[in-house]
Structure 1
Amino acid sequence: MKAIGLYRYLPIDDKESLVEEQVPDPVPSGRDLLIEVKAVSVNPVDTKVRAPKDKTEEALRILGFDASGVVKAVGEDCVLFDVGDEVYYAGNIARQGSNAEFQLVDERIVGPKPKSLSFAEAAAMPLTSITAWEALFDRLRISEGDAGKSILLIGGAGGVGSIAIQLAAKANLNVIATASRQETAAWCKSMGAHHTINHKQELLPQLQELGYKDVDYIFCMADTNEHWDGMAACIKPQGAICAIVENKRPLDMGKIRSKSVTFSWELMFTRPVFQTEDQIEQHRLLVDIAAMFDRGELKQTMTKTLSPMNADTLKEGHRLLEQGNMIGKLVIINE
C-alpha cells in the first residue's frame, strides 16, 4: 500500500520531512480493524510529532491521528464492526497512523461515521471531539447539575475549541471563549459561545467587564505557561482547570493552592496508549457524538480541504497549521 511518513524529524520545508513509499498491507488480528482510509485531518499533534528532533526511525513512521474510512477486514475477536461499515476514529499515537491507504485500529477506539457527514467532514471530528468530551466530562467532571455555571475556553477557534464550545453550550454552561481576531471571535460565536474575550490581553478585567467575578471552569487549549497566571486569577475558589498543551516550564501550583483548585491534564491518547480498562469509552463517546451530528445538535468544523493524499499535500497541510492561523479543521481527501 502507499504510505506517507518519515525517517528523520525535520523542518517541513526539508524535502525529506515527509516521504511517500510502498509498504506491506497490514493484516488485522485480535480486535483490530483493517480500515481503508478515505480522508484524514491534520492536527497540531501531527506537526509536533514531526518537528525537528535528534532521532531517526529504522522503518517508515506513518503519522496521522484522525481519519474516516471503510472497514475492509476484521480481527478474529472483533464484535463491534463488520466489513463494509463506515467509521471514524483518532487512532493511537503509539501505532502507525492514518496517512496511508490502509490502517489497523483497535475497534474499541473507533465509532460509526455520522450518516449526515461526508467522509471528509467526518475525518475532521474524532480527535477534537474525544479531546473536548474527555476534558469537559472526564477531567473537569461537568454534569447535569452544573447547568448555569461558567466556563472559560482559552483558544476557542481551533479544532478542539470549536467542539468544546458546542458541548459546553449543550451542557447549559455560560460559555466565554477567547479569540484574538475578529474572524476567530465570530467563529466562536457561531459555534455557540455566549461571549468572547481576547487571550492576548489580561483575562480577568475582560471577564469583570462582562459581569463575571470569576469562572467555575477553565479549559486551556493554548500555551499553558503563557496563560497560567491569568487562569489562576480567573478561576473560582474550588474550581477546576484542564489543559491540553504541555508546559515548557514548571507551573507554579502555589498560585492555585489557596483556592483549592483542581488541575488536570487531558490527552486523548491516554486510553489507547496505556490500554486502560475503560478504553472502550472512546468508542461509546464517538457513538454519542455521531448521534449528535445526525440529530443536528453539533456542527462539523471542517473549513479547508486538500487532495490527493501524498507527501506534497501533507507537507502543505503541516505548513498551514504551523502558521498558527487555522480556524476549524483541515482535511486531506484520499483520492
Structure 2
Amino acid sequence: MKAIGYRDAGPISAANALIEFETDIPQPGPKDLLVAVRGISVNPVDVKLRASAQPDSGSRILGFDAAGIVQEVGAAVTRFRPGDEVFYAGDITRPGTNAQFHVVDERIVGRKPASLGFAAAAGMPLTSITAWEILFDSLGLKAGAGTDESLLVIGGAGGVGSILIQLAKQLTGLTVIATASRDDTRAWVKKMGADHVVNHHNPLDKEIKTLGISPRYVASLTHTQQHFASTIELIKPRGQIALIDDPDVLDVSALKPKALSLSWEFMFARSMFQTDDMDAQHKLLNRVSDLLDDGTLLPTVNNHGGVLNVENLRAAHELQESGKVIGKTVLDGFGE
C-alpha cells in the first residue's frame, strides 16, 4: 500500500520533510479493525512529531484522524463488521493514518456521521475527543445538567476550540467566552456559538473585566504560559483550568491563594495506557456522530486540501504551522 511519512525529523521546508513510500498492508490484531482510509485531517500533533520526533528506525507514517470503511476485523471485535463506515483519532504509539489502510483498536472508533463525507468526518474525531474530555473529565461537568457558570476558551478558532465551544453551549449551557483577534477568527467563533469574544493580544484579565464576568472554568488551548498570570487573576476562586499545550514552566504555587485546580488533557492517554475505560472514546464518538447528524453540532472543517499526496500534505502542514488555521484542514484519502 501507499503511505506518507518521514525518515528524519526536521522543518517542513526540508526537501524530504515528507515522503511517499510503499509498505505492507498492516494485519489487524484481536481487537483491531483494518480500515480503508477515505479521509484524513491534520492536527498540531502531526507537525510536532514531524519536526522533533526522530523515528526509531526507517520511516514513520504520520496522521491520526481518519474516516473510512472497515475491511477486516480481528477475532475479538464485537462492535463493527466489514463494510461499516467509521471515524476515529488513532493511537500515538502505532503507525498513522496517512496511508491507504490502517489498523486501529475498535474501542477508540466511532460510527461515521451519515450526514458527512469521509473527509469532513475525518476532521472531527481528535478535536471532539479532546474537547469532550476537557469538559466532562478534566473540568468534571455533566452533559445535560445545565449551569449558570462561564467558560473561557483561550484559542477559540482552532480545531479543538471550534468543537469545544459547541459542546459547551449545546450540552452544558455554559456562557462561553472565546479568544480571537482577527475579523475572520472572531466571526468563526461566533458562528460556533461563543457568547462573547475577546482579543488574546491584550491582557485577558482586563479584557474579561470589561464583560463583567468571572469565569469558573478556563480551557487553555494555546499560549498557556503567556496567559497564565492573567488566567489566575480573572478566574473565580476554586475555579478549574484545563490545558492541552506544552508550556516550558508554570508557577503552580500561584494557584494556591484561589484554591484553583489545574489539569492537562491528552486524548491519547487512554489508548497509550490501555485504560479500563478505553471504550469511553468509542461511546463519545458515537454521541458526537449523532449530534452531527441531527444538526446539534456543526462540522468544523474550514479547508479541504485535495487528495492525499506529498504536495497537498506538505501544504496542510505549512498551514498548520502558520498559526492562522481556522477550524480543521482535511484531505481525501489515497483510495484503493
Report the counterpart of residue 106 of structure 1 in structure 2. Answer: 105
Report the counterpart of residue 155 of structure 1 in structure 2. Answer: 155
Q: Give the drift of 1:308.
A: 2.0
1:91-170 equivalent positions in 2, closer than 5 A? 91-143=90-142, 144-145=144-145, 147-170=147-170
Report the counterpart of residue 178 of structure 1 in structure 2. Answer: 179
Structure 1 residue runs of 5 or longer lacking an equivalent are none
What amino acid is aligned across from residue 327 of structure 2 in structure 1?
Answer: G
The CA deviation string for residues 294-321 of structure 1, in whole angstroms up to 9 with x for no partner, is: 1110000111112221222211110111
What amino acid is aligned across from residue 240 of structure 2 in structure 1?
Answer: A
- TM-score normalised over the length of structure 2: 0.97
What amino acid is aligned across from residue 293 of structure 2 in structure 1?
Answer: D
Report the counterpart of residue 30 of structure 2 in structure 1. Answer: 30
CA contact (8 A) 1:10 1:16 kept: no
1:237-248 equivalent positions in 2, closer than 5 A? 237-248=237-248
Report the counterpart of residue 286 of structure 1 in structure 2. Answer: 285
CA distance in 1, matches of 2:145, 2:56: 49
- TM-score normalised over the length of structure 1: 0.97
What amino acid is aligned across from residue 321 of structure 1 in structure 2?
Answer: Q
Whichever structure has more strand as a proportion of its residues is: 1
CA distance in 1, matches of 2:312, 2:242: 34
Report the counterpart of residue 21 of structure 2 in structure 1. Answer: 21
Matched, 1:198 2:199: yes
The CA deviation string for residues 32-83 of structure 1, in whole angstroms up to 9 with x for no partner, is: 0000000100011100111146x34422210101010000000000000000
What amino acid is aligned across from residue 241 of structure 1 in structure 2?
Answer: I
Report the counterpart of residue 230 of structure 2 in structure 1. Answer: 230
TM-aligned CA distance change 1:39 to 1:145, over 3 Å = closer
Report the counterpart of residue 330 of structure 2 in structure 1. Answer: 331
CA contact (8 A) 1:35 1:104 kept: yes
Q: Give the drift of 1:14.
A: 1.0
Report the counterpart of residue 310 of structure 1 in structure 2. Answer: 309
Identity of aligned residues (%): 47
Report the counterpart of residue 5 of structure 2 in structure 1. Answer: 5
The CA deviation string for residues 130-166 of structure 1, in whole angstroms up to 9 with x for no partner, is: 0000001110011244511110000000000000000
Secondary structure at 2:60's aligned position in 1?
A: strand
The CA deviation string for residues 62-113 of structure 1, in whole angstroms up to 9 with x for no partner, is: 0101010000000000000000000000000110000000000000000000
Structure 2 residue runs of 5 or longer lacking an equivalent are none
Q: Which moved more, 1:141-150 or 1:158-167?
A: 141-150
CA distance in 2, matches of 1:295, 1:233: 39
CA distance in 2, matches of 1:208, 1:309: 46
Report the counterpart of residue 81 of structure 2 in structure 1. Answer: 82
Report the counterpart of residue 41 of structure 1 in structure 2. Answer: 41
CA contact (8 A) 1:67 1:123 kept: yes
CA distance in 2, matches of 1:41, 1:276: 26
Secondary structure at 2:46's aligned position in 1?
A: helix
What amino acid is aligned across from residue 172 of structure 1 in structure 2?
Answer: G
Report the counterpart of residue 271 of structure 1 in structure 2. Answer: 270
